[in-house]
Structure 1
Amino acid sequence: MFSKSNLLATLVGTVVMFFLGYLVWGIATVDFFSQHSLVDAMKDPPNLGLIAVGNLIAVFALSTLYSKWARGHHSLSQGFTYGAWIGVFMGVGMGLLQYGTMIWMDLTGHAVEAVLDIVFYGIIGAVIALVYQKTAVKE
């Protein structure tokens, strides 16, 4: 659980998740989601420290689960597939639960969020896999 590969993947994945998340949701899609949000629940300004800690914990969990899922075979495509399935869970599964229980966004917003989550977590999974691949013990 606290292997060199897992800790490095956690560190690199956290940095990528933080900055890619800011790029996607903090810059690129702000206008889109402001048009599809039914309730403005954003903090102004957001707590970047808590976001960073949340990313760290999330990526540690993702990296730890990836190490069990991959069983020693690491590739970018396998990592992307792993992350995309996490994105399906988060974006589609949790998104439909949120749409069914909360007044947060319209259906279009949730659908776009689902696609973004699949790609976003796919990239995070690929980054985790790349670090595992590069730090794997050579035989």
Structure 2
Amino acid sequence: MKTKNFLAAGIAGGIVDFLLGWLFYGILFKDSFDQPEENSQAMLFIFLGCLTFGLFLAYIFGQWAQISTASTGAKAGAIIGLFMGLLFNFFHIAMHADASYQVAALDVAISVVMAAIVGAVVGFVNGKMG
């Protein structure tokens, strides 16, 4: 795996993940999910989390799976998003008495869609740089 490919694909994926999160969680489904407090460092940590996810996919795709097309990236991203969405929401339901199954299901669906799109971007960048 080339470091520049990893970084370029991971950063591109992280930026796309951040923008999709703003679209899905901040605009389309704003009423279903908690919003960060204004004047907090929340957005910085949200961005760092998105960047971490982009780099995570870039590492898996480049080092282990040799994914270098948007379509295979989207498929792999969707599967990873499904498992990550389920993992997070199962723990959230277990730890929060007021957790909603409907919101959890919506979050899993959003996770699948977002991870598929991020995976497509990471796969595409891998293919163009490889």
Considering the TM-score relative to the shorter chain, is it more than 0.5? Answer: yes
CA contact (8 A) 2:69 2:120 kept: yes
2:57 alignment partner in structure 1: 62
1:27 alignment partner in structure 2: 27
Per the TM alignment, residue 96 of structure 1 is displaced from its structure 2 partner at its CA by: 2.1
Deviations 1:3-57 (A, max 9, x none): 22111101211211111110110111012x15xxxxx5x4312522222222222
| C-alpha RMSD over aligned residues | 1.9
The TM-score, its normalising length taken from structure 1, stands at 0.81
The 3 A distance-change label for structure 1 pair 104 and 57 is: farther
SS at match of 1:43: coil
Letter of the 2:62 counterpart: S
Per the TM alignment, residue 98 of structure 1 is displaced from its structure 2 partner at its CA by: 2.0
The 3 A distance-change label for structure 1 pair 53 and 97 is: closer
The answer for unaligned runs of 5 or more in structure 2 is none
Letter of the 1:81 counterpart: K
Runs of 4 or more above 6 Å deviation: none
The answer for unaligned runs of 5 or more in structure 1 is 35-39
Distance in 2, matches of 1:55 and 1:115, equals: 17
Indicate yes or no: 2:24 matched with 1:4: no
The TM-score, its normalising length taken from structure 2, stands at 0.86
SS at match of 1:105: coil
1:44 alignment partner in structure 2: 37
Distance in 2, matches of 1:43 and 1:23, equals: 14
Distance in 1, matches of 2:18 and 2:117, equals: 12
CA contact (8 A) 2:18 2:46 kept: yes
Per the TM alignment, residue 2 of structure 1 is displaced from its structure 2 partner at its CA by: 5.6
Per the TM alignment, residue 84 of structure 1 is displaced from its structure 2 partner at its CA by: 0.8
